[in-house]
A = this chain, B = another copy of it.
Amino acid sequence: MKLYSSKLAPSPLKVVIFLKEKGILDQVEIVNLDLGKLEHKTPEYKAIAPNSRVPALQLDDGTIILETTAICRYLEALYPEPNLFGESPIEIASIEMWYSRVTYELMVPLMHGFRHTHPHMSQMENQNQEYGLAQRELAVKSLDTYNNIIASREYIAGERFTYADIQMVTSLQFLVRLNRLDIQDYENLNDYINQVSSRPSFLV
């Protein structure tokens, strides 16, 4: 298998963490694209990933899997242990629920707050300052909410580390500072991130 990745983008990082948690990083050839040099916009890469996004997983028979969670679910089906998407029905539901809530309540507003207001994104995004600022405001409210939610638990979706934690920690590590916010102002979130990201799979 070949994973088309990039060293600075958060989505392929989630797959790399997933591979490390499974202990199967050596099963996959990593091909790092330089997004700064627009290596994801070349005709060669568009033939692999028509949406010009990383990550993309290419199987040995040439089949392409796009989308971070689809790649991770494929790997979970091939390598079920350690389980990261849930075992019992209620655990499966909880991981999906928190993955989804974290995505829509935290990641999306933080992402739009960044993409629509940050000067570095002006070439890459059809920016709308007003929309970006409204999204950033939503994100700040969500950070307060999640700072409270995480106060009473070690992991976001239950008693153990799961895919929902990968989504939450990578989103926060990447996007909070890009919104010129300081994660240290959110003590419980900061503790949670420090604890999760001390796992060997998060170390570069």
Contact = CB atoms under 8 A, between A and B. Distances in A.
A138 to B, nearest CB: 9
Copy total for this chain? 2
A128 B130 CA distance: 8
Nearest to A128: B131
A100 B70 contact: yes
A78 B89 contact: yes
A74 B87 CA distance: 11
Interface string A73-93: 110011000000000111011
Nearest to A104: B67
Interface string A52-66: 000000010001011
Nearest to A59: B90
A163 to B, nearest CB: 12
Contacts of A131: 128, 130-131
6 contacts: A67-B101, A70-B96, A73-B96, A77-B88, A77-B92, A128-B134
Given A73-B96, A74-B92, A77-B88, 14 more contacts: A51-B105, A65-B97, A67-B96, A67-B101, A69-B96, A69-B100, A70-B96, A70-B97, A70-B100, A74-B89, A74-B90, A74-B93, A126-B134, A128-B134
